[in-house]
């Protein structure tokens, strides 16, 4: 503790500032700096302990710092945690003036809600839509069917929530999901979500829209989705799979 009070926090603090400056200049995403915060929290805790333990009546400037930190934390609390319904969250960020900052995306756009909160919404509805389409297939087609998700968020939701709806395991060419492969079925029938019709027609001769979902509260790529049933593949999915690496 004494070593920390002697100023050992200087080097980590400078490192944090250097990392922040580097990410700022290179236009890095805001959360890239996240791993350094635990170090700063530790330093701050030691300094706060030293500042408060030696005085029964802390200086007004120290009191002001604490009040400002608590007030700022209270202001951001609803933004950082899903405490409010979407309508109230939208109103809150707008009334507090936080919307231009809190509702910004990592691609430079703006949403009605903070991006992390918006990305929590609608997953059950998407899984249920896929499940209804899958269940509507006749038994023969269902035995040949696979579920394909266009991105890792959809794939993760289907993996997590799909079994309770009777869905088989999902496959996806997105990110590290590609490494799990396409499974053993030839994908003569595919129920897909998050993949556009044009892209599907490169691999299937028959592509039929089976369900449509809209949700303006969520992130842009999930606001307008169509669930397709694809048939008459140009080839076995195992042969096509290597060409899909790195596409998402």
102-137 tens-digit pLDDT: 888 877 788 999 999 999 999 999 999 999 999 999
For residue 107, tell me if it sits in a domain: no
pLDDT tens, residue by residue, 73-101: 899 999 888 899 999 999 999 999 999 88
pLDDT > 90? residue 12: no
For residue 141, tell me if it sits in a domain: yes
pLDDT tens, residue by residue, 142-186: 999 999 999 999 999 999 999 999 999 999 999 999 999 999 999
Place of tokens 């918006």: 118
- 128 and 49 within one domain: no
- 128 and 54 within one domain: no
For residue 198, tell me if it sits in a domain: yes
- From 58, 83, 100, the end of a domain falls on 58
The SS3 assignment for 122 reads coil
CB 76 within 8 A of CB 117: no
pLDDT band at residue 51 using 50, 70 and 90 as cut-offs: low
* Region 13-26 average pLDDT: 88
- 127 and 235 within one domain: yes
User: Quick one: tokens of 83?
Assistant: 């405490």
- Beta pairing partners, 226: 212
For residue 102, tell me if it sits in a domain: no
The SS3 assignment for 120 reads coil
- 238 and 129 within one domain: yes
Query: In whole angstroms, what is the distance from residue 62 CA to residue 53 CA?
Result: 12
For residue 105, tell me if it sits in a domain: no
- 235 and 134 within one domain: yes
Number of domains the chain contains: 2
- From 33, 58, 83, the end of a domain falls on 58
Give the 3-state DSSP-derived string for 67-104, with helices as H, strands as E and coil as C. HHHHHHHHHHHHHHCCCCCHHHHHHHHHHCCCHHHHCE
For residue 191, tell me if it sits in a domain: yes
For residue 106, tell me if it sits in a domain: no
Which H/E stretch holds residue 230? strand 224-233
- From 58, 82, 103, the end of a domain falls on 58
Model pLDDT, residue 233 = 96
- Give the residue among 4, 105, 98 at the shortest CA–CA distance from 48: 4
* Region 51-62 average pLDDT: 61
Model pLDDT, residue 1 = 41
For residue 112, tell me if it sits in a domain: no
- 229 and 140 within one domain: yes
User: Quick one: tokens of 117?
Assistant: 């909160």
- 227 and 127 within one domain: yes
Model pLDDT, residue 58 = 61
Domain of 219, in residue numbers: 123-244
Model pLDDT, residue 3 = 42
Which phi-psi region, left, alpha or beta, contains residue 126 (left: φ > 0; alpha: ψ -120 to 50)? alpha
């Amino acid at each position: 503790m004494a070593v920390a009070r002697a100023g050992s926090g200087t080097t980590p603090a400078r490192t944090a500032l250097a990392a922040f400056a580097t990410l700022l200049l290179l236009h890095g995403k805001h959360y890239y700096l996240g791993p350094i915060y635990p170090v700063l929290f530790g330093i701050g805790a030691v300094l706060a302990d030293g500042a408060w333990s030696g005085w029964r009546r802390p200086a007004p400037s120290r009191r002001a710092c604490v009040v400002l930190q608590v007030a700022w934390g209270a202001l951001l609390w609803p933004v950082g945690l899903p405490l409010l319904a979407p309508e109230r969250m939208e109103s809150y960020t707008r009334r507090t003036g936080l919307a231009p900052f809190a509702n910004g995306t990592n691609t430079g756009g703006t949403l009605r809600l903070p991006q992390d909160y918006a990305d929590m919404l609608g997953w059950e509805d998407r899984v249920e839509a896929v499940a209804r389409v899958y269940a509507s297939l006749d038994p023969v087609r269902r035995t040949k069917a696979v579920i394909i998700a266009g991105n890792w968020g959809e794939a993760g939701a289907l993996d997590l929530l799909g079994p309770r709806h009777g869905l088989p395991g999902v496959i996806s060419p997105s990110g590290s999901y590609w490494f799990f492969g396409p499974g053993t079925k030839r994908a003569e029938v595919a129920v897909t979500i998050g993949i556009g019709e044009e892209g599907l027609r490169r691999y299937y001769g028959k592509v039929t829209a089976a369900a449509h979902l809209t949700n303006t509260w969520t992130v842009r790529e999930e606001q307008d989705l169509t669930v397709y049933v694809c048939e008459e593949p140009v080839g076995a999915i195992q042969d096509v799979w290597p060409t899909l690496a790195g596409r998402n």
